Each structure stands twice: as C-alpha cells, then as structure tokens.
Chains A and B, each alone.
Chain A
Amino acid sequence: MSLTLFVLRRLGRGVLTIWFAVTVTFLLLRLLPGDPALAVASTNMTEEARAALLVQYGLDQPLPVQYVLYLGELLQGNLGTSFTQSVPVLDVLLHRLPWTLLLTFTALALTVVVGVPLGALAASAKGRTWDRVVQVVGVTGQSLFVPSVGIVLLFLFGLALGWFPIGGAYDQDVYGFEWYGSVLSHLVLPALSLTLVQLGPYVLTMRAALVDALGDDYVTLARANGLSPRRILWKHALRNALLPTTTLIGLQLGFLVGGAVLTETVFAYPGIGRGIYEAVTQLDFPVLQGAFLLLAVTVVAANMLTDIAYGFLDPRVKTS
C-alpha cells in the first residue's frame, strides 16, 4: 500500500471515530429518560423558557431531523452555552485544553521514557530477581486508583516535605522566566501521579514483546556472530519490539485522559478534567457534553498522528 493511501485510510478512520462519538452522545442525550432541554439549559428554567429552548434547538422536531441539526451545530463549533458562566462551552473548554494537553503529554512522555527501559531490563533478566521486581511493579501499578496516588504524593511531597506546591498550575504574581518555573513545579506531582498509574501496561508490554523478539532467529544469528548482549538488546531486538508498545499508546490514550480528569480534580489543576468536576457539582450538562466531545477529538487526533508517524518509520504498519 502506498504511503498516501495509508495516510488517507488512517484519516478516514479518525473521522469515523469522531462521527461515532458524536452519534453516541446524541443518542444518549435524546434516549435517556431525562429532559433534553437540560443538556442546553439550567434545571430551574421556567416552562416558557423550556418550550422556547426546545424550538430554538429543534427539539420539537422528529429524531432524524434533530440529528442533522445537531451535526450542523457541531460542525460550526457550537457546543451550547455553559449556564453557570453564560459563555459558549467551546470558549470555556479551549481555555482549559492547553493545561490538560501539557499534563497528559508530559505524563505520556515520562511513561514511555521510564517504561521502555524498565521493560527492557526485565526482559534481559528474564526469570531473575530484576524481572520479578519489575513485573510486581507493573502489576501493582495497574491496580492503583489515580486519586489515591495523587493524594499520597500530595501528602508526602507537598505537605510533609514542602518540595512542591499543593495545587493549581502556576503562581499568580510572578512573570517571565519565573512564571515558567512555577508552571514546571506545579506540573511535577500531577504528572508523576498519572505516570505511575500508566506505567504498568507499558512495562509489561515492552517486556513481553522483547522476550518474544529475543527468541527470534535474527537474534540467534546476531548472537552467533558474536555481538554483545547489550548491542543485541538495544540495537536489534528493541527496535522490533517497539511496535506493540506504540500500538499500546493508542489503546491507552482513552485511559490516560480518564486518569487526567481524576488527577486534575485532586490537584485543582485548571484543565478540562477539573472543569468536568466543577460542571458535575453544578450540573452544567453542556460543559460535560462538550468536554467529552473535545477530549474524544483530541484522543482520536493524537492517536491518528502517532499511527501516521509510525507508518513512516515502520513499513510493517502500512501493510497490516
């Protein structure tokens, strides 16, 4: 398959996924035994206001017509109005998105940078102590509850040791270089919590893929040629074992974002997740709906970019 075709197919799949997310949201909002007007306006509106809203949003129309109207509004970037802040939902969310992106990408980068060598360490010591230790860490990591991890880190490094601030994303009264410094120090604990929770699957996948790769014929050949074990592991086996790990990034992005929602809640980090928490407390349904759609689009786009980037690096991806 040519590269253009591969990229086009991948783009098509991304669009399909987003359409699916939108349709699921639409069906949930309309088919749940709640008042659809609630999705666009407050719970304490008057009966006339409700009727006017139903007409304004076309909610008095049959379901298929509503669906087309809904798609049309979304394509224009209209996610409704947040009724607690009386501003378009999209504005509220786009304001918060950079913080969520900063947090999740930092955590993802940390996870890969720590997870791949840990997995390699376990695979190269297969059956020995280090392998056991790494596997125990991996399995335990998968069982952690994100807020619990966040609270423990907050207690240890925020409160007891005082190394890092205990909430927020930056200091109010600093500017320039210092401001970036404050952003960084606020980022450490949330990113660390998210990394600890994410690490397990990456370590275990990397280990399993490397153990497989180390049993392949080309590794035996390299060994027969007298290459050092380290060179075989890092130069030959690792490259071939990276594919499942890259696939895993795509599979885990959804969980990563879910973890970010909980992490931001613990650390009062001003991203979309904290926005979701506040919207839940105020029953701000338009924000909840918009947050899901925006996060879905972000996840799908990130996934697509990873796949396409990897398609350029590894010819096997294009054919599969």
Chain B
Amino acid sequence: MTAPLTDPALTDQALTDPALTGAPLDEPGRGRRAGSATWRAFRRQPLGVFSLAVLALIVLVSVFAPVLSEPPASYGPDVLQPPGGAHPFGTDALGRDVLAEVVWGTRQSVLVAVAASAIAIAFGTLVAVVGAYFRRVDAVVGVLVDLTLSLPVLPLMILVAALAGPSTTTIILVVAAFSWPEVTRLVRSQALAVVGLPYVDAARLMTRNAAWIIGRHVVPAVTPVVVVSVVVTASRAVLSAAGLAFLGLGDPTTWSWGRILYEAQQSGAMVSAWWLTLFPSLAILALVLSATLVSIAYNDARNPRNHDR
C-alpha cells in the first residue's frame, strides 16, 4: 500500500514540489483499471483539463506552424508597428511580423522541451533505478546528484553552449546534460522505497537477472513519478533554453521565443516596443504554467483517495 517516504532527500523534494505532495506510491500492476480511474478523476478538475487543452493547442501550433503563418521574412517595410491591421502582434525593429516569429518560435521551444526532457528523463531514470537496485552505485549517484544540484547550473550551461557553438543540437544536449540530476533525485527516492518492498525480494528469489527485475518491477512502480518529472523537466527546459537564447546563445538560424526577446534587447526597443516582449513572454508563461498545472492535476487524480468508490 502506501509506503512511508523515509528518505530525507525525498522529503525535501516532496515539499519543494507541489506536484509531489500527497502522492502515494502506486502499486505496480494495478493496471488499466487504475489508469482509467485516474483519467476519470483528472477530467473532474476544470483547471487541469483547461491546462491540458492549452498544452495541446501549443503542440498543435508547433506542428502546424507552416500552415498557420509564413516563415518570418528577413526584413519588412513597416518597422516597429504596434499590433493591429496586417500585423496582429506588431512588427520588430527590422519590420518582421512578430506573430510569425512567435508561431515559428513555438516549434523550436516545443522541440527543445521534448527532446531535452526525453534525454534527461531516460538517462535520469536509468541512473536512478540502477542506483536504487545496486546500493554501491547509489552512493556514487547520490553524491553526484547532490554536487551537481548545488552548483549554479545556468552559468555552466552558458559556458558549454558558448564553447560548443550555438545550434539547436547544442542547446538540446546542454539542457539535457544538466537536467537529468533533478530527474534522478525525484525518481531515486521513489525507487529506493520500492526496492525495499517485499515483492521485489520475492522477485529476487525467482531470478538473478537484475535487468529483468528492474524492468519488470521497479520501473513500472516509479512510472507515475517519471510522468510528473517529464512535465517538470520539460517546463524547466523551456525556461533554460529561453534563458540561453535571451543571452544570445540561441540557434541564430531558427526563431525561438528567447531569440525574439534577445533581438528586442539588442535593438534597444525592448522596453518601448512592449509588443516585442509581451507576446513571447505570454507564450513562455502559457507553456510552463499549463505544464505545471497539468502535473499537479495528474498527481491529485492518481491519488486513490480522490477516486470514485
């Protein structure tokens, strides 16, 4: 049933992260019935459903960007036009349509978020479950995660991105490389609790194949935490990538929300032409906030206490 969360690192995290408070351990193999109960409970939360719709909309915009808008031209006749008429979001210092920049920037932001968090999640989860299963590895993993998390990560990302040269691949890899410790910390504490449960001992009696036990019994049990951390990691990745782009380390050949802000700053129109910064800022907020709210709603929904009986 619900195992007490004893690891101090987890307790900290559980308190830090609203998405994790009050979430019990899922028993593995509760299977589809629990999944549909979770979905039913999720649908009853208006804020969660609304956020999910916003997320879906953002993903749709990123997929259908070529249909929605022409790629931003390299210059245009109307410089720094306020929103209205032919340019609903206004134009920037080179006369480019801000709406087109934001739409195409959605592509880049979603791509970086998905790719970087996929890598970070896969690696972070692997390290966490293997560490939890083999205690000797865990000691190393724990120290490594602690050390990385106590360093200022953004300046480190900046250094690496500047050395490697700005490109979309660089940004994805850099953000992934410094996001996995957070995933490992979230998943590890759950995995440590699971590994101590009797059914894992029982599995040990059946086979000495550690990979089988981890894959069949440990990973399914930590999946809910992984789902939550996908969302958290992806939204952090959006913020990190936007931060790098804002400092001029974005891919200079592709539009991103951070790059719109960076160019606004470079052109000196950052504050006076409010439409240059408002729309990309709202886009970032919409993506990150809706992702956070979805993860909170999901966490509430998978708590069996909130299910119908």
Contacts from A to B (Cβ < 8 Å): 16-17, 20-21, 24-25, 28-29, 32-34, 38-39, 135, 138-140, 142-148, 151-152, 154-155, 158-159, 166, 201, 204-205, 208-209, 244, 247-248, 250-251, 253-255, 257-258, 261-262, 265-266, 276-277, 279-281, 283, 285, 288-289, 291-292, 295-296, 299-300, 303, 320
Q: Residues of B contacting A289 with CB < 8 Å?
A: 159
- Contact assessment for A262 and B271 in the assembled complex, using a CB-CB cutoff below 8 Å: no
Q: Which residues of B contact A280 (CB under 8 A)?
A: 158, 162, 247-249
Write out the residue numbers on chain B whose beta carbons fall within 8 Å of the beta carbon of A303: 150
Q: Which residues of B contact A142 (CB under 8 A)?
A: 292
Q: B163 to A29, Cβ gap below 8 A?
A: yes
B117 CB, min distance to chain A CBs, angstroms: 16
CB nearest to B289 among chain A residues: A143
Q: Which residues in B have their C-beta under 8 angstroms from that of A145?
A: 239, 242-243, 281, 284-285, 288
Contact of B150 among A254, A258, A279 (CB under 8 A): A254
Q: Is B12 interfacial (CB-CB < 8 Å)?
A: yes
A249, B117: Cα distance in complex, Å = 25
Q: Are the CB atoms of B152 and A143 closer together than 8 Å?
A: no
- Nearest CB of chain B from residue A290's CB, rounded to whole Å: 10
Q: In the complex, A66→B256 CA distance in Å?
A: 39
Complex Cα spacing A177 to B281, Å: 38
Q: Please pick, from A143, A292, A320, the residue contacting B155 in the complex, using a CB distance under 8 A.
A: A292
Query: In the complex, are the beta carbons of A140 and B247 less than 8 A apart?
Result: no
Instruction: Evaluate contact between B163 and A208: CB separation under 8 angstroms.
Output: no
Instruction: Say yes or no: B162 contacts A283, CB within 8 Å.
Output: yes
Chain B positions 247-267 with a Cβ under 8 Å from a chain A Cβ? 247-249, 261, 265
Instruction: Specify which chain B residues have a CB less than 8 angstroms from the CB of A208 in the assembled complex.
Output: 14-15, 18, 21
Which of chain B's residues 266-288 have a Cβ closer than 8 Å to chain A? Answer: 270-272, 274, 277, 281, 284-285, 288
A261 / chain B contacts, CB cutoff of 8 Å: 154-155, 158, 243, 247
Q: Is B2 an interface residue (CB 8 A)?
A: no
- Residue of A whose beta carbon sits closest to that of B161: A280
Tell me if B149 and A155 are in contact (CB < 8 A).
Answer: no
Residue B42 CB within 8 A of the other chain: no
Contact flags B3-21 to A (C-beta < 8 A → 1, else 0): 0000010011011101001
Interchain CB contact under 8 A, B271 and A158: yes
Does B152 lie within 8 Å of A296, measured CB to CB?
yes
Interface size on B, residues (CB 8 A): 48
Interface residues of B, Cβ cutoff 8 Å to A: 8, 11-12, 14-16, 18, 21, 147-156, 158-160, 162-165, 235, 239, 242-243, 246-249, 261, 265, 270-272, 274, 277, 281, 284-285, 288-289, 292-293, 296
**Is the Cβ of B271 less than 8 Å from the Cβ of A254?**
no
Would you call A155 and B152 a contact (CB within 8 A)? no
Q: Answer whether A28 and B159 are a contact pair too, CB < 8 Å, given A138-B18, A143-B285.
A: yes
Partner of A265, one of B155, B242, B246, B284: B246
Residue numbers in A under 8 Å from B239 (CB-CB) = 145
Q: In the complex the two chains form, what is the Cα distance from A276 to B156 in whole Å? A: 11
Is B153 within 8 A of A147, CB to CB?
Answer: no
With a cutoff of 8 Å between Cβ atoms, the chain A residues found around residue B281 in the complex are 145, 147-148, 151-152
Contact residues in A for B247 (Cβ distance below 8 Å): 261-262, 265, 276-277, 280
State in angstroms the CA–CA spacing of A143 and B281 once bound together: 11
On chain A, the residues within 8 Å of B249 by CB distance are 280
Tell me which of A16, A139, A204, A254 has the highest count of chain B C-beta atoms within 10 A of its own C-beta: A254
**5 shortest A-B CB distances, which residue pairs?**
A258-B154, A148-B281, A257-B152, A143-B288, A143-B289
A and B contact pairs by CB, cutoff 8 A, 29 listed: A20-B147, A24-B156, A28-B159, A28-B163, A32-B164, A33-B164, A34-B163, A38-B163, A138-B18, A143-B285, A143-B292, A147-B242, A151-B277, A159-B271, A208-B18, A209-B15, A248-B15, A258-B152, A258-B154, A262-B243, A265-B246, A276-B247, A285-B162, A288-B158, A289-B159, A295-B152, A299-B151, A299-B152, A303-B150
